[in-house]
Amino acid sequence: MHILFLSCLKATELIEKKFHFHLSFRERMQLKMHTSMCKACSMYEKQSSTLEQAMSKIEHFNGEKEDLSKLKESILKKMENHSQN
C-alpha cells in the first residue's frame, strides 16, 4: 500500500515535474491521492500553477516587447532611408 502514498517532498517534485514533463499514470494517481488528503500540497499545487501561468505570460510579453523594439528600429531605418532619398 505504501506504493500509493507519497511524502510531501515527493509530491512537490511531481507537481513541479508535471509542468514540464509528462507524468506516468502511476505518478498522476499517486499525486492525485496525496493532494486529496494533504491541504498543504494541494495549496502548493495551486500556487505553482498560478506562478507557471504568470511566468509564461511574462515570457510571452517579453517576446512581444523584443519584437516591438525590432519593429521600431526597422521603421526608423526606413524613415531615415526615405528622408535621404
Residue 43: the pLDDT is 95
Residue 34: the pLDDT is 95
Please report which residue ranges of the chain form alpha helices under DSSP H: 8-18, 25-37, 39-84
Residue 24: the pLDDT is 95
Residue 48: the pLDDT is 92
Residue 68: the pLDDT is 67
The alpha carbon dihedral of 57, 39, 12, 32 has a sign of negative
The parts of the chain modelled with pLDDT lower than 70 are 1-4, 59-68, 82, 85
pTM above 0.85, yes or no: no
Give the span between the Cα atoms of 22 and 45, in whole angstroms: 16
Residue 65: the pLDDT is 59
